[in-house]
Amino acid sequence: MAGSDRDERLYPARPFVGVGAVVFKDRQVLLVRRGREPRKGLWSLPGGLQEVGETVFAAARREVLEEAGLTIEVMELVDVVDSITRDGEDRARYHYTLVDVRAEWRAGEAVAGDDAEAVAWAPLDDLARYDLWAETERVIRLAAAQRRG
């Protein structure tokens, strides 16, 4: 992504719409270690910005393919999360509206690509070791509950 696109995300004039995918394979969920700000170096869900003319489900499929090399089937909406990172003066340094969907792995081997430093299939009972943002873990648990029906 060009530097000007990155600059636009810093102290934005409006929120950006991000799409995250809670991808399940058996009793594991796909996590990516972020290669860029915000939350660079931390584990999270695969995802990124929705493009103009792209549906949320299409954005989720594209982002998972770009970041992890996987083909997924998007099942349903999980939740919408406000992600606002403030600076020392309480100004919105980053502001994203995150639309998270539940998906099932269909094909491919997980390999870090695009802006992911690493990928992992994390067992649902071992999420604590990934030091996830509380909202990310909450969304994963909610998606797991939806999956169980």
Quote the pLDDT of residue 5.
Answer: 57
Domain boundaries defined on the chain: 3-148
The pTM of this model reads: 0.89
Question: What is the predicted pLDDT for the residue at 2?
Answer: 44
Which architecture does CATH list for 3-148? Alpha-Beta Complex (3.90)
| pLDDT by residue, tens only, the chain of 149 residues | 444 556 788 999 999 999 999 999 999 999 999 878 777 889 999 999 999 999 999 999 999 999 999 999 999 999 999 999 999 999 999 999 999 999 999 999 999 987 888 999 999 999 999 999 999 999 999 999 999 97
The set of long-range contacts for 88-97, using a CB threshold of 8 Å and a minimum separation of 24, is 91/11, 92/11, 92/12, 93/10, 93/11, 93/38, 94/9, 94/10, 94/12, 94/37, 94/38, 95/12, 95/14, 95/15, 95/16, 96/15, 96/16, 96/17, 96/18, 97/15, 97/16, 97/17, 97/18
